[in-house]
Structure 1
Amino acid sequence: MKTLVIYTHPNHQSLSYALLQQVLKGSGENPRISEVQVLDLYEEGFDPVLVFNENKRRRDMHKDPALEKYRNQLLRADRIVLIYPIWWGRPPAMLLGYIDRMFAANFAYRDSGKLLPEGLLKGKSVVCVSTMKGPPLYPLFWLNNAHKTLMRRALFRYVGIKKVKFFEFGNMESPKGRHAAKLEKIYRYFKKAGA
C-alpha cells in the first residue's frame, strides 16, 4: 500500500507535527505499507489561490502543468492521510486551497449526466487526523458535524472515495489534553492499519 500524507500546519513545533511523526513511525513499522510520501503544504510553498482568467480557464484545471506533480502524488496513493488543525470549525485555508486546486473536474470527478458525477478517485481511502482547541464533542453538538460532513460527503464521496476515517482530537491546548495517549493512538493505528 502506498500512502500520501498531506501535512498542513505552519509550525513544526505543533502537536500536528508530533502527530505526523507518529503517522510516519507507525507506517514505517507496518509491513503492509510499501511507500510513504509526505507533502508539507507550508514548507512546499504550495499556492492555494485559484486563478481564472483568459489564460487559465476553470475547465483546464485538470491539466495545469504547475500541478502535475501533485496530481501524480494523488494518483499513486492508495491511502491519503490529511493532518491539520481545525480552525473556526474547518480545515485551514491552505488545505482548502489545495482541495480547490487539486480535486478538479476531469481529474477527481467527471460529469455523468446524472444527479452526482462519476468519482475518478475510486478505490482509495482517506484518514483525517485533526486537532482543535475546543472540547472533542464541540463539532458534533455546536457545529452539527460540519467538518466531517464537508470532508466525507462534500469532497471525498463526490470524487468516489468511500472509505474515510476521522481522528478528531479536542482540548489540545489544555494540560489535561492527554497528548501522549492521543499520539500513541495514532502510532498504533498506522502500525496495524490495512488498506
Structure 2
Amino acid sequence: MKLLVVYTHPSHESLSYAFLRQVVQGSGENAAVEDVKVLDLYEAGFDPVLVFNREKRRRDMHVDPALAVYREQLLWADKIVFVYPIWWGRPPAMLLGYIDRLFASGFAYRDKGGLLPEGLLKNKSVVCISTMKGPSLYPLFWLHDAHKTLMRKALFRFVGIKKVKFFEFGRMEVKDGAQAKKLDKVYRYFKTVTA
C-alpha cells in the first residue's frame, strides 16, 4: 500500500503536525505500507488560486504542466491521507484550493452526460484527520455534518472514491482535550491498517 499524506497547516509546531508525525510513524511500522510520501502544501509553496483566462482555460486544467507532479502523486497513491484543521466549519482555503486545482475534469472525473460523472480515482481510499477548537459533536448537531458531507459526498464520491474514514477531533485547544489519547489512536490505526 502506498500512502500520500497531504498536510495543510502553516505551522510545524501545531497539533496537526503532531498528527502528521503519528501517521508517518505508524505507517513506517506497518508491513502492509510499501511507501509514504508527504506533501506539505505550505512548505511546497502550493498556489491554491484557481485562474481561468484566455491562456488558462478550465477545460485544460487536467493537463496543466504546473500541476503534473501533484497529479502523479495522486495517481501513485493507494490511500490519500489529509491532515488539516477545521476553520470556520470547513478545511483551510489552501486545501480547498488544492482540491479545486487538482480534482479536475479529465483527471479526477469524466462527464458522461448524465446526472453523475464517471469517477476516475476509484480503487483508492481516503482518510481525513482534522482538529478543531469546538466540541466533537458541534459539526454534527450545529452544522448538520457539513464538513463530512462536503468531503465524502461532494468530493470523494464524485471522483469515484467510496472508502473514506474520518478522524474528527474536537476540543483540541483545551488542556483536558485528551490529545495524547487521540494521537495514539491515529498512530495505532496507521500501524495496523491493511487497505
Q: Distance in 2 between matches of 1:36 and 1:72?
A: 14
1:84-99 correspondence runs (5 A): 84-99=84-99
The Cα shift of 1:113 comes to 1.5
Aligned residues: 195
State the Cα RMSD in Å. 0.3
Q: Does 1:145 align with 2:145?
A: yes
- Three-state SS of the structure 2 residue aligned to 1:164 is strand
Q: Distance in 2 between matches of 1:11 and 1:115?
A: 41
Q: Distance in 2 between matches of 1:193 and 1:114?
A: 36
1:108-147 correspondence runs (5 A): 108-147=108-147
Aligned to 1:24: 24
Q: Distance in 1 between matches of 2:102 and 2:113?
A: 22
Aligned to 2:184: 184
1:18-97 correspondence runs (5 A): 18-97=18-97
- Three-state SS of the structure 2 residue aligned to 1:126 is strand
Question: Identity rate of aligned residues, in percent?
Answer: 75
Which digits, 9 at most, give the CA deviation of each residue in 1:48-98, with x for residues without a partner?
A: 000100000000000000000000000000000000000000000000000
Q: Distance in 2 between matches of 1:51 and 1:90?
A: 22
Q: Distance in 1 between matches of 2:101 and 2:26?
A: 30
Q: Distance in 2 between matches of 1:176 and 1:137?
A: 16
Please report the TM-score for the alignment, with normalisation by the length of structure 2: 1.00
- Three-state SS of the structure 2 residue aligned to 1:42 is coil
5+ long unaligned stretches in structure 2:
none
The Cα shift of 1:194 comes to 1.1
The Cα shift of 1:178 comes to 0.5
1:151-162 correspondence runs (5 A): 151-162=151-162
Aligned to 1:104: 104
What amino acid maps onto 1:119 in structure 2? Answer: G
Q: Distance in 2 between matches of 1:92 and 1:115?
A: 29
Q: Distance in 2 between matches of 1:65 and 1:21?
A: 31
Q: Distance in 2 between matches of 1:91 and 1:84?
A: 7
Spell out structure 1 runs of 4+ moving beyond 2 A: none
The Cα shift of 1:114 comes to 1.4
The Cα shift of 1:185 comes to 0.2
Please report the TM-score for the alignment, with normalisation by the length of structure 1: 1.00
Q: Distance in 1 between matches of 2:11 and 2:107?
A: 31
Q: Distance in 1 between matches of 2:163 and 2:13?
A: 30
